Structure 1
Amino acid sequence: MLRIERLRVIGLTIMPTFLVACGGLGGTDGDSSVSRVVENAIENQVFVEGGEFELGDVGRPDGSAYVTLVDHSRPAIEVKVDSYSISRYETTWGQMRVYYEATGRLSQYEESPFKHRYVNSPTDDLLSPYFRNKPARVPNYGEAEGYCAWLAQETGLPFALPTEAQWEYGARSRGRRVAYATNSGQVENDPYLKRPTEYVDTSIRPSGNTLIHSSLKFERRPVGSYPPNSLGLYDMTGNVAEWTQDWFQKDYYQHAPRTNPQGPLKAINPESPEKTVRDWAGHGDHVGGNATVFARYGVPVSASGNGFRCVVNHPEPIN
């Protein structure tokens, strides 16, 4: 186990608006890769001071709801969350590959249809959908939860998936009344994936402040390609949707405790258990308010295609 006192802080090979192909956020060369991923996981944690905020769809200035297709995000409720840290980036293909190899989990997918889509070998090719610093889309909820648990084992720190409340509190820069987790609180969508698939040019550099299009295309931008929100968190609007640890309940906000809500204690429907996925802009679903930070839906734990980031549940900064 790599205990925290043995870890040294290292820098990332990251430009402000675009990740470069060398080094970066995790490699695939055995123990040194494990050390690098673990060290970067700690270095990339952003401390979020706890406080009270209104969880849920707080509504537009005229009083209308942002999310109009469903009422899962209403009523907004006043809650308190303790201080924690959260990764500034979504977990990448390179980091996931190191985890799969270190834990012997690649064999789980040898004969699986997921093998070549969601458990893929990362590449140094910036133009590939599997460039090592692009956000991973995992084959199921268990691998997202497992990755954070693996970091906890390697560091001795309480890594975990974020709760819904932690995710939204961070996305909204400690509960600000903003609908998008961007540098401005508004969307300037990169048209990168909007054109017909055959004309998508992966060599075009990012523009705007988020990537929402499109749910039909697998391609995404490297993590950190767009400006962060005011806390320094990247891609909490767009790129990929993200798992949280909470079991999904449509009317949860009507029953949630007011201090550190963590979702229902168990799956509402044990025959089809669902966890809550946030940032539906990451699926390209940008109608009816689904691109806002308030959108929340239940997704079967066996479902593939979502990304994630980890938190550290510790009341003080860890880096």
Structure 2
Amino acid sequence: MKALFYAGLPFLILFGCNISPSEKAANANELDSAVTCASVIPNRFSRISEDSLTYISGDDNAKMILIPAGEFKMGSTSFDDAQPLHNVELSSFWMDEHEVTNAQFRAFVEATGYVTLAERPLDPADFPGVDPRMLVPGSAVFCAPKNIQGLNNHLQWWEYIPDANWRHPEGPKSSITGKESHPVTQLAYQDAEAYAKWVGKRLPTEAEWEYAAKAGKHQYETYYWGSDKKENGKWLANIYQGDFPTHNTKEDGYEITAPVKSFPANAFGLYDMEGNVWEWCADLYRPDYYANSPKLNPRGPAEAYDPQEPGTVKRVQRGGSFLCNDQYCERYKAGSRGKGEVNSPTNNVGFRCVKDIK
């Protein structure tokens, strides 16, 4: 598995963003119905007043919001691995109002001495046949190319950068100084899980994540926030504008991550449940899991399996990132699923935590 991460990492990054022609056709049909259905849905900003929200603070002093127990229809007809649509019933839980920030993760590292996967030295014995000079800690970084040959080869815009890690998310010349309120990135699944345990929390299941993101909205909303990308001329999420991946017009004000809470919250008071960075979930990934998912508090399959990359261990990721748009990566849309190899951090993946109600 280590060899897959370091020698084959670029191949493990964004298969979840590749959309097949059949999925695009199905998506177009749902978009049409979404426009019709969404026209009678209350604006997301008016569903729940600020005064009615219930908060606690976690051990990391992060504001957490009470997500009430309830039932919802999970999934999407636009994506093959998000079918069939099925009813899910969840118990109440607490959820961080925003993604874990650089400042919060730094406090964890300073208190514990934790070293993330992307920072750890590599043992040549784990990588037989690989030139030892190639075995340097680092991670994958999105690098906008000047020219591309189609969108089928994501190696055109992803590069393994030595010394790229959570402190230097775009490489050794980058820094999180001045970006303390941005979501932390470049974390493998085990890094996110370690933080969650330290603060007495856990990572959300994908059912909890989707339920919280939809926040009682209609099943056929196109996006988690509604049916339009803008409101009153302002973008509602940090996603990619322009010609992907060569020209980002940054109409939403950001080229990469944005400070948490830069965009409006959803009806539950949660920020960035769409765009900004992908978020790790606790569930192992299988494209066929929904056919066998239990109705009450599903926790994901017992084993991971991705037919595109058999033998890899993947966990679900949710919400999309600053790189998502309709041109290539459409899985920031409501009900969709992302996936990530557990040892493959990138600069567009972060996380938030949840907490059980005792």
Same fold (TM over 0.5): yes
Please state how far the C-alpha of 1:78 moved relative to its aligned partner: 0.6
Alignment match, 2:66: 47
Contact 1:249 1:264 in 2 (8 A): yes
Please state how far the C-alpha of 1:46 moved relative to its aligned partner: 0.5
Cα RMSD for the two superposed structures: 3.0
Matched, 1:246 2:283: yes
Instruction: Give distance in 2, aligned partners of 1:93 and 1:101.
Output: 12
Contact 1:276 1:299 in 2 (8 A): yes
Please state how far the C-alpha of 1:299 moved relative to its aligned partner: 1.3
Q: Which runs of 5+ in 2 are unaligned?
A: 1-56, 122-136, 140-161, 249-254
Sort the Cα spacing of 1:189 and 1:274 in 2 relative to 1 into closer, same or farther, 3 A: farther
Alignment match, 1:92: 101
What is the letter of the counterpart of residue 297 of structure 1?
Answer: G
Alignment match, 1:105: 114
Instruction: Give distance in 2, aligned partners of 1:137 and 1:170.
Output: 22
Matched, 1:169 2:217: no
Alignment match, 1:307: 350
Please state how far the C-alpha of 1:77 moved relative to its aligned partner: 0.0
What is the letter of the counterpart of residue 49 of structure 1?
Answer: P
Q: Deviations over 1:165-216 (max 9, x none)?
A: 000000000464233233x55322999xxxxxxxxxxxxxxx4221111786
Instruction: Give distance in 1, aligned partners of 2:176 and 2:232.
Output: 17
Q: Deviations over 1:217-263 (max 9, x none)?
A: 87211000011011100001111111100000101110100100110
Q: Secondary structure at the match of 2:280?
A: strand
Contact 1:89 1:224 in 2 (8 A): yes
Count of residues in Structure 1 that have an aligned counterpart in Structure 2: 242
Contact 2:256 2:322 in 1 (8 A): no
Report the structure, 1 or 2, having the larger strand content: 2
Q: Pick from 191, 214, 222: which aligns with 1:143?
A: 191
Contact 2:275 2:320 in 1 (8 A): yes
Contact 2:168 2:175 in 1 (8 A): no
Instruction: Give distance in 1, aligned partners of 2:165 and 2:282.
Output: 20
Q: Pick from 59, 72, 75: which aligns with 2:81?
A: 72
Instruction: Give distance in 1, aligned partners of 2:58 and 2:89.
Output: 32
Q: Secondary structure at the match of 1:80?
A: strand
Q: Deviations over 1:127-153 (max 9, x none)?
A: 97650101111331111111111111x
Contact 1:161 1:245 in 2 (8 A): yes
Sort the Cα spacing of 1:314 and 1:286 in 2 relative to 1 into closer, same or farther, 3 A: farther
Contact 2:324 2:330 in 1 (8 A): no
Q: TM-score, normalising length from structure 1? A: 0.68
Q: TM-score, normalising length from structure 2? A: 0.61
Sort the Cα spacing of 1:87 and 1:286 in 2 relative to 1 into closer, same or farther, 3 A: farther
Alignment match, 1:38: 59
Q: Deviations over 1:6-44 (max 9, x none)?
A: xxxxxxxxxxxxxxxxxxxxxxxxxxxxxx983422xx1
Instruction: Give distance in 2, aligned partners of 1:248 and 1:148.
Output: 20
Instruction: Give distance in 1, aligned partners of 2:285 and 2:106.
Output: 28
Sort the Cα spacing of 1:84 and 1:176 in 2 relative to 1 into closer, same or farther, 3 A: farther
Alignment match, 2:166: 119
Instruction: Give distance in 2, aligned partners of 1:283 and 1:277.
Output: 14
Bigger CA radius of gyration = 2
Sort the Cα spacing of 1:298 and 1:105 in 2 relative to 1 into closer, same or farther, 3 A: same
Please state how far the C-alpha of 1:116 moved relative to its aligned partner: 4.3
Sort the Cα spacing of 1:240 and 1:93 in 2 relative to 1 into closer, same or farther, 3 A: same
Q: Pick from 269, 274, 278: which aligns with 1:237?
A: 274
Alignment match, 2:45: none
Q: Pick from 219, 224, 227: which aligns with 2:264?
A: 227
Q: Which runs of 5+ in 1 are unaligned?
A: 1-35, 58-64, 153-158, 192-206
Instruction: Give distance in 2, aligned partners of 1:107 and 1:236.
Output: 24
Sort the Cα spacing of 1:128 and 1:120 in 2 relative to 1 into closer, same or farther, 3 A: closer
Sort the Cα spacing of 1:110 and 1:303 in 2 relative to 1 into closer, same or farther, 3 A: closer
Contact 2:60 2:199 in 1 (8 A): no
Contact 1:247 1:265 in 2 (8 A): yes
Alignment match, 1:277: 317
Instruction: Give distance in 1, aligned partners of 2:297 and 2:322.
Output: 25
Please state how far the C-alpha of 1:107 moved relative to its aligned partner: 7.7
Please state how far the C-alpha of 1:117 moved relative to its aligned partner: 2.9
